[in-house]
Structure 1
Amino acid sequence: MPRRIILHAGFHKTGTTTLQATLRENRTALKKHIALRLRWHLKDLLSATRGYSTWRDPLTMLKVQDRFERMLNDLPGMPRRSLIISSEELCGHLPGRGDLMDYSAAPVLLYAFWDSIRQRFPKADILIYLTTRAPDAWLRSAWSEHVKSSGMTMDFAAFERKYAEAAELDAMVQEIASRVPAPVHHAALEDCADLPLGTADPLLDLCEIPLALRSTLQAPAPANTRLEDDILQQMLQINRTHDGVEARNAAKTALLNKVQDK
C-alpha cells in the first residue's frame, strides 16, 4: 500500500507536460521514493474523464469510476512510497473544446477519485496538487492550443471574452477544496519560474524527497510551448479555410515543416 497518494489533476496549460517530463526523466533516481502513473499510463481512464466533462451523464461517470478502480487494483505493492497520478485530463477536456465552458466537472471527478482511493487504501494519505496560471496568460495559451490542435476558428479576442470565467483557476482551486475532503495544494506557474524543477518542485516537496537527491535531478527542456503569433495566425486561417480534419492537419504539418526548414 502506498503511504501517500497525490492526484496532480491539472490544470491544462500550466506547465503540466514539462512537470510530467521531469518525473519521467528522473524516474530511476526517484524510484525508491515515488511510483508514477502518468497520462500515457491512463489512456482508457482519460477517455472517460474527457467524456464525462462533455456529457456529465451517470453512465460515463460509472466508466470513470470503474477504470480508476481497475488502475488502483492493478498497482504493485509500494510500501513507504508515494504514488503520483498525474494528468491534466483527470479534470476532463480543456475548456473551449466543443461546448465545454469551464472546469466545473473537476470537483465531481476529483471527489470520485478520492472516494475510490479512500476505500481501496484507507490508511494512505490522499493529497491533491493543482498547478495554476495567471488568467491572461492561461487564456492566451489555451486559445493557442485549440488553434494548433483543433479546428478552432475563433480569434483570441472572442475566445478571451467567451472563456474569461474558465481562466479563474484560483477560484476553481477553492471550489475543489470546498467539495473534496482531501488537502488541496496548488502552485502558480509564474511563482515556480525560478525553481530548479519548476512546478515539479512543490510536488516533490509533498513527497518529502531528500534534499541530497533533489540536487541530482535533471530539468528537461520546456515542453509543448506556445507557437509564435504569426504561425498561430496562419493556423487560424487554415482552420477557417480547410474542410475536414485530414486536410486541416496536413496543411498545419506543411506549415510547421516550412518554418523548421528556414
Structure 2
Amino acid sequence: MPRRIILHAGFHKTGTSSIQATLRENRVALKKQIALRLRWHLKDIVVAARGYSTDRDPLTLIKVQSRFGEMVNAIPGMPRRTLVISAEELSGHLPGRGPLADYSAAPVLLYAYWEILRSAYPEAEILIYLSTRAPEAWLASAYWEHVKSSGMTMNFDVFEHTYGEAANLDAMVAEIASRVPAVVEARRLEDCADLPLGPVDPLLDLCDIPLSLRPSLVAVPAANRRPRQDVLDALLEANRTHSDAAARNAAKKSILSAAGLSA
C-alpha cells in the first residue's frame, strides 16, 4: 500500500505538460520513492472526465468512477512509496469549449477520485495538488490553446468576456478544498520560474524526495509552449478561412510545420 497518494488534477495551461514530462524523464531515478500514473496511463479515464465536464450526465460520472476504480485496482503493491496520479484532464475539459465556461465539474470529479482512493487505501494519506497561474496569463494561454487545437474564430476580447471567470483558479482551489475531504495544496506557475526543475519541484516536495537525490534529477525543456505570435495569428486566420475541418487542419499543420513545430 502506498504511504501517500498525490492526485495532481490540473489545471490546464499551468505547466502540467512540463511536470509530466519531467516525471517521466526521471522515472528510473525516482522509482524507489514514487509510482507514477500519468496522462498516457489514464486515457480512458480522462475521456470520461472530459465528457462529464460537458454533459454533467450522472451516467457519465459513473463511467468515470468505474474506469478510475479499475485503474486503481490494477496498481500493484508499492509499500512505502508515494503514488502520483497526474493529468490535467482529470478535472475535465479546458474551459472555453462552447458552453463549458469554468471548472465547476472539478470538485465533483475530485471527490469521486478521492472516494475511490480512500476505499482502496484507507491508511494512506491522500493529497490533492493543483498547479495554478495568474488569471491574465492563464486566460491568454487558454485562448491560444483553443485557437491552436480547435476551430475557434472569436477575438481574444470576446473570449475574455465570455470565459473570464474560469481564470480565477484560486477560487476554484478554495472550492475544491471546501468540498473534498483531503489536504489540498496549490502553487502558481509564476512562482516556479527560478526552481531547479521548474513546476515539478513543489510536487516533488510533497513526495519527500531525499535531498541527496534531487541534484541528480534531470530538468527537461518546457513542454507545450505557446508558439510565436505570428504563428498564432496565422492559425487564427486559418480557422476563419477554412470551414471544412480537414482543410483547416491541413492548413494549420502546414503553418506549424513551417515554424518547426508539431501539430
Normalising by structure 2, what TM-score?
A: 0.98
* Displacement of 1:197: 1.1
Corresponding residue for residue 48 of structure 1:
48
1:126 aligned counterpart, secondary structure: strand
* Displacement of 1:205: 0.7
Using the alignment, how far apart are the partners of 2:241 and 2:109 within structure 1?
37
Corresponding residue for residue 253 of structure 2:
253
2:153 aligned counterpart, secondary structure: coil
1:215 aligned counterpart, secondary structure: helix
Letter in structure 2 aligned against 1:108: V
Once the two structures are superposed, residues 194-222 of structure 1 have per-residue CA deviations (whole angstroms, 9 ceiling, x without a partner) of 00111211111111000010111011000
Letter in structure 1 aligned against 2:178: S
Letter in structure 2 aligned against 1:229: Q
* Displacement of 1:259: 2.7
Once the two structures are superposed, residues 151-207 of structure 1 have per-residue CA deviations (whole angstroms, 9 ceiling, x without a partner) of 011111111111110000000000000000000000000001100111211111111
In the TM superposition, what are the counterparts of 1:153-168 in structure 2 within 5 Å?
153-168=153-168
Corresponding residue for residue 97 of structure 1:
97
* Displacement of 1:258: 2.3
Corresponding residue for residue 225 of structure 1:
225
Using the alignment, how far apart are the partners of 1:244 and 1:110 within structure 2?
37
| Number of aligned residues | 261
* Displacement of 1:231: 1.2
Using the alignment, how far apart are the partners of 1:221 and 1:132 within structure 2?
19
Corresponding residue for residue 10 of structure 1:
10
1:212 aligned counterpart, secondary structure: coil
* Displacement of 1:260: 3.1
Corresponding residue for residue 60 of structure 2:
60
* Displacement of 1:244: 2.5
> What's the % identity of the aligned pairs?
68
Using the alignment, how far apart are the partners of 1:112 and 1:150 within structure 2?
29
* Displacement of 1:243: 1.8
RMSD between aligned residues: 1.0
Corresponding residue for residue 38 of structure 2:
38
Using the alignment, how far apart are the partners of 2:86 and 2:258 within structure 1?
34
Unpaired runs of at least 5, structure 1: none
